[in-house]
Every structure is written in C-alpha cells, then in structure tokens.
A = this chain, B = another copy of it.
Amino acid sequence: MTWRNVPVVVTGGMGFIGSNLVLHLAGLGARVTVIDRMLAQYGANPFNLSGAPGNVQLIEADIGAESAIADSVGGAAVIFNLAGQTSHMDSMLQPLEDLRLNQEANLRFLELVRRTNPQARLIYSSTRQFYGPPRYLPVDEAHPIASPDINGIHKYAAESYHLLYARVYGLRATALRLTNVFGPRMRIRDAKQTFLGVWIRHVIENGRFEVWGGTQKRDFTYIADLISALLAAAEQDGTIGQAYNVGGCPPVTLLDLAKTMVRVAGNGGYDVREFPAERKKIDIGDYVANDSAFRKAAGWKPKTDLADGLAETIAFYRQHAAHYI
C-alpha cells in the first residue's frame, strides 16, 4: 500500500505515539489531519509536531466534538484513533473524567464514523492494562479480562465499541492492545504516562531514579516498531474486527531495564525501593505479550533492540529536554 496523498486522521496526534505516527505518515506523503484536545497533562506537546511539514493540519478539538471534526473524519481513508489518557492514578482519582475522555468520547466518535464514513479503515490503540495481573505468561488475547483500575475498564469498553461497530455496522476497525511503548516525544516530566518517562528525565539530568520492586518482568515496544505495527494493521484487511496484542523487545525485569538505561546513558543511577502500597494495589506484576496472532495476520515483527531504542530515546531528550521537562 502507498500512503502518498492518502487522507489520514490521527486522533491524539499531538501526543507521544500520535505525533511519531503523524511525522512518519507525513514523510510517506500522506495528507494528515491531527485531532487533539491539547491536554498537556496527558502528553500533548506542541513541540512534538513543531517540525511537521505542510501536509499536516491540526484541529484542536475533542474526538467527541462532532461538528468540529466531521469534515475531516468524513473524508479520511484511514483513521488512527489514539486519543486518550493513560494515567492509572488519575483514573482512580477522577473516574468520571476518565469515563468522559477514554470511553464516552470514543462512543461519540464511532457514531460519527458510522454515519459519515463507514468505509474508512480504523485503528484503535487499546491496552494490555485490562488483563489485570496475568494468570499465565505470555498473555494471549483469550486471557480473562480483570481490569485493575478505572482506566482499564474504560479502555476495554472503548475497544469493545470498536469491535461491536465492526460486527454490527461493518466498520473496518482493528484494535491493538499495547504494552509499554517508549521513545522520543513521550512525556517525561513525571510518571503519568509511564514510569519509564520519569526514569529518562532523571538519567538525562544525571540524577537517580527509583525502581519499585524491580523483579517485575515487562516487554517494551520501541516507538518505531509500534508505528510499523499501526501501519501494518491498517494495510491488512485481514485484521478487521479483531483485537491483537502487540509486544516488542524480549521481556526484561525492571531492574535489568534500569541497568541497561544507566549503561547506555553513561550517567545517572537508581535505587531499588519497596513498592508503595497505593501503587501495589493496581500493579499487575509480570507482563509478557503473546503477539503471534498479530505477527501472523499483519506480517509484522519488531526490529529494535532494547538498548538501541533506549539510546535513541535518551539522545532525543538530551537534545530537546527543555521542551519536555
């Protein structure tokens, strides 16, 4: 599939994953419209798209704001629906706000797509969060659902909307259940988006970060591999109507991740701490994705070595720290 001159909508396109996707698509010659509410606390950062070429247009709006976005959504050949907030703590503290952002806005958005553009290819960024503490590893898509937080409940409902609208209304939707994605343009000011963000901040400031626990095993996806996964999902109609896990680098413990980060950075350090009780309640322990279904259906595989991905990420923030801290 060629992306040249293809009209594409990216919701949440000012955020971490969205902006990397937008820049990649723009580079391929796509005509990209970004829909973003510009909520800085959830990762939207104008600097993320400051280098975007002229074929990128921005609509500052909520994905539930029908009138502001109807024309762009109606004219898109492909829609990447990435808008949302990912903070687990925020979802527990402000559950109604999380409901509005992560679920209700998606329902309004899908109603709009259904009415104005049911033929568009639609890719939704879901999450492994709602599996809860894994009952077995690696986790496949048949793993029971047991959300450990409000965020997971709402993301699961929003994913369910996408799959339901595919089944009942014929929308050409695919959902990808992401794990820990990292790379340039992520939020590093604090741990709202991921703990890995704030670790990077401490490393580039030559400070020390805290590793809670440390024995938890996780798989991390470098942003370039995720972008190729998003494109592969959109290009393969065989993925329509399905939700797939997307993994990435071979799993490591958080302690190994910390060691690798300090090694490739050449500075900074870490201290291992006991898991804070409040976080422990909603932590999921080890997680490793079984993403063989997606690799097969989309012909995708990750290419980035964890250390290389961390090195590129740290290099980016050393250069652009002022825009992210």
Interface, chain A (partner B; CB < 8 A): 92, 95-96, 99, 103-104, 107-108, 111, 142, 144-145, 147-150, 153-154, 156-157, 160-161, 164, 167-168, 281-282
Contacts and interface: CB of A to CB of B under 8 A. Distances in A.
Nearest to A158: B153
Secondary structure dominating the interface of A: helix
Contacts of A157: 103, 153-154, 156-157
A107 B111 contact: no
4 smallest CB-CB distances across A and B, nearest first, come from A153-B160, A157-B157, A153-B157, A168-B281
A164 to B, nearest CB: 7
Given A92-B168, A96-B104, A142-B144, 17 more contacts: A95-B111, A96-B107, A99-B104, A99-B107, A103-B157, A104-B104, A144-B144, A147-B164, A149-B168, A150-B161, A150-B164, A153-B157, A153-B161, A154-B157, A156-B160, A157-B157, A168-B281
30 contacts: A92-B168, A95-B107, A95-B111, A96-B104, A96-B107, A96-B108, A96-B111, A99-B103, A99-B104, A103-B157, A104-B104, A142-B144, A145-B145, A147-B160, A147-B164, A148-B167, A149-B164, A149-B168, A150-B161, A150-B164, A153-B157, A153-B160, A153-B161, A154-B157, A156-B157, A156-B160, A157-B157, A167-B281, A168-B281, A168-B282
A141 to B, nearest CB: 10
Contacts of A103: 99, 157
